[in-house]
Chains A and B, each alone.
Chain A
Amino acid sequence: MLKLEGVTKRYKGASVNAVDNLHLEVRPGEIFGFLGPNGAGKTTTIKMVVGLLAADRGKIVVNGRDLAADPLGAKRSIGFVPDNPNLYPRLTGLEYLNLIGDVYGVDGATRKRRLDYYLQMFELTSAVGDLIQSYSRGMQQKLALTGALLHQPPLFILDEPMVGLDPRSAHLFKRVMQEHVNQGNTVFFSTHILEVAENLCHRVGIINKGQLIACGTMDELRQASGQAGSNLEKLFLELTDAGGIDED
């Protein structure tokens, strides 16, 4: 569903690569957790995948479409929720959702059905006619999530989705991710909450200093590190402190 081949990105004026020769494959139907310390390159990677940044080198393939050669085709397969969803404050929630629905070509009936479902689930129905500037951060995040799911994207990408959410909203986010995968789609998300990654993800990848240092299921990571009983937190700390584990 998502394939990164030798993807490299260096910001202007920087002395090191933010993302360095990254190879990664996310399979259809899985929830993939993308972990790493602050500044490891998670958000840069995600921004390249969704088309917000251009890669210096390498290839990104989304749902069989090369992002560089067919950016619109690739983007049509993606639904994206950024870490800090800055949404147009002077649009109403509904106007924002209609913008997304129109651009992705979601017809009126389907749109209404999905909006009814998600807005009710996120308790946004009564607020959807208000300007976004009156929303709390959590409400904005839930609105961004609704927008990202409106076209039922085969690849659902979230950057730090749990930050700033109350327990109920966080639970709903996890439920939505699970439901999306159950419908045959794929979820790729970055997080610092290792417990969520451990419980929710089929596989995780750990990036550090722009390089993928570990990738696999929890069992595969434990096996590769030689720590049979370790939890993800312990593995993460050990891996990001020094060295790494080869994929699979």
Chain B
Amino acid sequence: MKTRLWTLYRTLLNNHYGFSAAKFYYIKKRQRTWEPLVIVAGLTPAVVMGIVFIWNLTEQLFIGGLAFGQPHLALLNGALLVSLAGLFFGFFSVLSAFYFSTDLEVLLPLPLKSWEILTAKFAVVLTGQYAINLLILLPLWLRYGLLAGVGLGYIVSAVVVFLALPVVPLVLASILAVLLMRLVNISRHKDRLALVGGFLLVIVLVGFQFWLQSSLGGDDPELVMEQLLGRADGIIKAAGRVFPPSVWAAQAMAYAHTWQGWLNLLYVAALSALALFLLYLLGEKVFLQGLLAGLEGSRGTGRARQVELAEERARAPLMTVASLEWKLFVRDPGFALNGLIGYVLLPAMALLPLFGQKLQNNPFELLALDQLHPLVVAGGLALYFLFMTGMSMIPATTFSREGRYLWIIRSLPLDIEQIIGAKVLGSQGVNTIGCLVGIIPVAYLMGWGVGEVVLGAVLGVLLASALAGFLVLFDLRKPMLDWVNPLKAVKSNLNALVGMILGLAFGFALGFLLYGNVQTGTLWLIPLELLAAALALGALVRVLIRRWAPQLWARI
């Protein structure tokens, strides 16, 4: 049994991260050997900067915490960060791995118990979490260890905490995902319900965070700091409210040489073991029913469909392929939850602090905060459109998401330029609606005028479309077509990362330009500059598409 689970885990891990494929192409066939080098070279600066940042922050927290008798503040922050991130991002990962992977139809007929499938898939997600945690925790723990002059007990505690810490958040995420799917899979509209359920869960998490922030002292940073650091147990209580195992983990490592430390370590290990047992029960009792219900087909009524048939009208190919783009994106919970969540989350994060200032009691005070010039508002909104088109991952993964279905569009009599045009149109349809959904309530609360919102939206659509064109072309260069878990096409896709970085980089560059306009008092230049940037980028992208797209399309 142990061997079977181990084999399953190794196979799923291999398939998920493409180890065999990498070995085959890079070592055996010696093809595309430059790719890993480019990836490593591209990621190394970001990783090194991140490590340096964590290293320095740990030192500051250690010194700051020492003044309040809490030198292990850094340990606590690290444990809390990876735990909450594991819970939040883990939810999407497990939902996709458990229910939307195409390998489930292969695994289910095998003589495997449902808990074995669940556990193996859970372990694959957990392995990814370990890799991320290692990058965050290793420099942090190392710096703390050097500053505090720790001993062997600290290292033993660190190993146990490292192994145990991500288990509880991921099991919690798994329970949420399994219960959600058990509930929605009884419906014919399970994809839609999964999407809505996922969004609701995110809103609950954000709401919880907001409540916590409010309960700690609301918008007064001094009060928050006093509560966090002013009392000997202040930070412990605050963190304990969010996620108690993070407190145990920090204390286990900080007091590794005392019985108190070992007791906390026992708590962490015991809770993780309990969580794994819960996962086992979940696999046995609930997972399979939800999965089987999800795999069942449903049939419509013949009469209703006849009416639908009679009403069909022909549309232009461009519009059809554009609508195909957004339909395929928003109907797949794996794609949609990852791509669309930012449209909800960012405006929510922008609005929550405002409510924290007791908006409902004094709305005029909030409106009086509006000191921004309309052209600055318009410019900022335009940059938001640009930024979100990268963050949504829609254009940057458009061909990748087609996966094994790409043959359909390739065999149709469509020019690649038409296809790119349709994909830009489809992705910008989603981006525009997503951005407006977030902007409109913010604009209402901030008292922005219709004029600046419309101007910002128009400029934003132009800028975002130009960037989207480039990102679609970039994905065409090397689409990730070989996936069984749809999440892989968006989350493990380098093209998506490039899209995010470019969205951010263009946003910052143009934001810097806007800042210059504010400083020099040349606000009237803002729309002209953004328009010029959109047209220039658009023209460049068009040239690139004409030059490269046909070759890349033929090469796939």
Contacts and interface: CB of A to CB of B under 8 A. Distances in A.
Contacts of A82: 407
Contact of B414 (A103, A112, A136): A103
Contact of B305 (A13, A78, A126): A126
B321 A86 contact: no
Contacts of A12: 29, 31
B314 A101 contact: yes
Nearest to B305: A129
Interface residues of B, number: 42
B314 A129 contact: no
B23 interface: no
B314 A106 contact: yes
Nearest to B415: A72
B328 A102 contact: no
Interface stretch (A49-57, A169-177, A222-230, A233-241): A49-57
A78 B332 CA distance: 30
Interface in A85-135: 86-88, 90-91, 94-95, 98-108, 111-112, 115-116, 119, 125-130, 133-135
Interface in A22-36: none
Interface in B276-302: 296-302
Contact of A86 (B305, B407, B412): B407
A99 B422 CA distance: 13
Contacts of B412: 75, 100, 103-104
Contacts of A51: 410-411
A156 interface: no
Nearest to A147: B408
A91 B326 CA distance: 11
B36 to A, nearest CB: 17
Nearest to A144: B408
Interface in A187-236: none
A76 interface: yes
B72 to A, nearest CB: 49
B405 A99 contact: no
Nearest to B315: A102
Interface residues of A, number: 47
B191 interface: yes
Which of B31, B313, B412 has most chain A Cβ within 10 Å?
B412
B408 A87 contact: yes
B415 A130 contact: no
Contacts of B209: none
B408 A88 contact: yes
B312 A111 contact: yes
A102 B410 contact: no
A115 B311 CA distance: 12
Contacts of B191: 90
Contacts of A129: 300, 304-305, 308
B29 A126 contact: no
B372 interface: no
Nearest to B24: A13
Interface in B300-335: 300-302, 304-306, 308-310, 312-317, 319-321, 324, 327-328, 331-332
A134 B299 contact: yes
B29 A13 contact: yes
Interface string B400-441: 000011011011111100000000000000000000000000
A179 B320 CA distance: 30
Contacts of A107: 314
B297 A133 contact: yes
A86 B404 contact: yes
A99 B325 CA distance: 11
B554 A54 contact: yes
A211 B314 CA distance: 43
A102 B412 CA distance: 11
A137 B554 CA distance: 29
A94 B299 contact: no
A126 B300 contact: yes
A131 to B, nearest CB: 8
B312 A52 contact: no
Contact of A54 (B320, B324, B327, B555): B555
Given A102-B315, A105-B314, A128-B305, A134 B414 contact: no
Contacts of A103: 317, 320-321, 412-414
Interface in B360-395: none
Contacts of A126: 299-302, 305
A159 B298 CA distance: 29
Interface in A15-74: 50-52, 54, 71-73
Nearest to B414: A103
Given A12-B31, A86-B405, A75 B411 contact: yes
B308 A94 contact: yes
Given A75-B412, A133-B297, A90 B317 contact: no
A119 B304 CA distance: 14
A136 B295 CA distance: 12
Interface of B: 29, 31, 191, 296-302, 304-306, 308-310, 312-317, 319-321, 324, 327-328, 331-332, 404-405, 407-408, 410-415, 554-555
8 smallest A-B Cβ distances: which pairs? A134-B297, A126-B302, A75-B413, A102-B320, A90-B331, A129-B305, A129-B300, A72-B413
29 contacts: A13-B29, A52-B410, A73-B413, A75-B411, A75-B412, A78-B411, A87-B405, A94-B305, A94-B309, A94-B312, A98-B320, A99-B324, A101-B314, A102-B314, A102-B315, A103-B413, A105-B314, A107-B314, A108-B313, A112-B309, A125-B306, A126-B299, A126-B301, A126-B302, A129-B300, A129-B304, A130-B297, A134-B297, A135-B297
Given A90-B332, A101-B312, 5 more contacts: A78-B411, A103-B317, A103-B414, A107-B314, A126-B300
